[in-house]
Amino acid sequence: MKVIEYSERDKIREILERETLDLDKVMKSVGEIIGKVREGGDSALVDYSKKFDDFELTKENIRVSKEEIKDAHSRVNENLVKALKHAHRNITRFHKEQMRRIEKGWSAEIEDGVNIGEKITPIENIGAYVPGGRTSYASTVLMTCIPAKVAGSKRIVIVSPPPISDSILVAADICGVNEIYRVGGAQAIAALTHGTETIKPVDKIVGPGNVYVMAAKMLVYGKVDIDMPAGPSEVLILADKTANSRFIAADLLAQAEHDPNAQCVLVTDSEGVIEGVEKEIAKQIESIKTKETAKEGMKNSAVILTRNIKESIEFANRYATEHLEIMTEKPDEVAEKIRDAGAIFLGEYSPVAAGDYASGGNHVLPTGGTARFSSGLSVRDFLKTSSIQRIKKEGLLTLKETIETISNSEGFDAHKKSVRIRFE
């Protein structure tokens, strides 16, 4: 692991300005895919499935049947089903608590006779992209579908590259979702946006994916809403001299095994912790089944050596990580000073893995520094608000002169007259 002192400004800037998604190189080809799916519908999906997934998709098997979902239960390990149900309970409880705090609309009298408020309603049609490829992401089914369900979305659609694993089908069934299509990549995003003969369009698309999926989401934004453009997963561990080096090493490796492009950063004011972590990584990496991927991921690792905890906190806020673990003597006090992080994990027994799977928080989080201005997926992403205005005659009278003055200044005569006519 390369150790960088916080005073080395150029090297720190390089870490902060990490390139996570090079969308430009794929935008043209993704745009062509979207155009062909829009024009060709199911036929284009069949062609792209053969080309990109080497899968014989037909117009008849694009949608996963109810029988296939039922059969998947018989092939999935009972312990996994039990674990998915446990995670489902906790994730549902977390998002229900979110919903309980925001579901009621409100109204207030702004001035005499002028009452205004908000009505909150769910987005009706949701598309959830569940990645395939390296592994099966049943947990992503839970994280994308549960908050949509809790928010009250009427229709939730899952798309995933073929062949779709049994665990994804079981997770979808646990969530009460049975509209599933074996389509992946940019073509799946195009189908969800524009619709085909088989797939009806949605209003919003959520869920992580590769660079082609992310580019497609960016290109269709405006026709539909999207959650966020997500890059490679990342963790920042903020530690002091009291931290357990074994735990830090284990959590860095857990991040590194995600992807060869995963970002793994340790920031600490303790040289002793750094020494201990390096020894533990060398020891632990040989015992994990994913060590080859983890070794590649660890090439993106960095250790930031600061002079004190204040500098460590400053770096953490500048880095604005997806996952922030705080392993210090007083983690709650440190957390109070954190403004920019997707999800925060306090103390030695709060690893990112808990949040990835079972504690209840959502694991669809902002990456690449976007935690400076965005949040993790929540029920809020599946809700929209409409302002409601009820104005009495006397209330409009108090607004009349202001409306007329501003509309005059902007050259909108009919605006002025639409108010004035009510008093003639």
**Catalytic positions:** 322-323
> What does each C-alpha distance from 103 to 120, 142, 150, 203 come to in angstroms?
7, 21, 10, 20
Give the tokens for residue 197.
């003969």
The per-residue b/e assignment along 133-161, b for 16 or more CB within 10 angstroms, e otherwise, is eeebbbbbbbbbbbbbbbbbbeebbbbbb
Give the tokens for residue 50.
């053969």
Give the C-alpha separation, 205 to 184, whole Å.
Answer: 13
CB-based contacts of 381, cutoff 8 Å, min separation 6:
147, 151, 204, 206, 227
Give the C-alpha separation, 405 to 408, whole Å.
Answer: 5
CA nearest to 45, candidates 156, 206, 193, 173: 193
Q: Helix, strand, or coil here: 419?
A: helix
Please identify which residue in the block is written with the tokens 């400053």.
314
Cα-based angle 391, 393, 397 (whole degrees, multiple of 5):
100
